[in-house]
Amino acid sequence: MSSTTSKRKARPAAPRGKKTSNASGTASKKRASTTQQTGDEDITFERGSGNVFADLGLENADELLVKADLAHAINRAIESHKWTQVQASERAGLTQPQVSKIARMRLDDFSQERLQAALRRLGVDVEIVLHVRESGGLGTLKVMAYA
């Protein structure tokens, strides 16, 4: 009986060293793909940057990630209090369909400011911290999860 080696790729890897423009308009170098052998299979994968929107090459990736993080915090607050969408909408100053959109991460109709205001109405403190970049380059935008 002969054994065969199968090769499977998790997803196509980007060309090594390909430069892409990130959401803030600066060029970033894509991470190199890695091949790892597990038994009879070779699996090729690429490490992400930590921002799935940037990895997908979307414009305004930093802003999209911030909105997703804020929406996640809203959903976490609602779940932790065991509120229904109607109860949460009354507290957050939103309609029930808007709470449903946030729960499903459909965030096109929401600004960062609106999501921040909803969080505050749900009893979550929103802190904005500024840091000066020593390199002087373009700054980043991120949400730190609450404990």
Same domain flag for 122 and 80: yes
Structure tokens at 21: 């423009």
More confident residue, 106 or 26: 106
How many CB atoms are closer than 10 A to CB 46?
Answer: 17
Beta-bridge mates of residue 34:
45
The tens digit of pLDDT for each residue in 71-115 reads 999 999 999 999 999 999 999 999 999 999 999 999 999 999 999
State the average pLDDT over residues 109-135. 93
Instruction: Summarize the chain as % helix, strand, coil (round to 5).
Output: 35, 15, 50
pLDDT at res. 82: 97
Same domain flag for 109 and 81: yes
State the average pLDDT over residues 46-53. 89
- The answer as to whether 141 is a domain residue is yes
Distance CA 81, CA 48 (A): 33
For 52, list phi and psi in degrees, rounded to 5.
-60, -30
- The answer as to whether 1 is a domain residue is no
Q: Chain-wide mean pLDDT for the chain?
A: 80
Same domain flag for 89 and 110: yes
- The answer as to whether 126 is a domain residue is yes
**Number of domains making up the chain:** 2
Domain interval for residue 43: 6-53
We report the CATH number of the domain holding residue 72 as 1.10.260.40
pTM value surpassing 0.75? no
CA torsion sign for 112, 115, 121, 124 is negative
Same domain flag for 48 and 19: yes
Nearest alpha carbon to residue 25 among 142, 147, 138:
138
3-state class (DSSP) for residue 63: helix
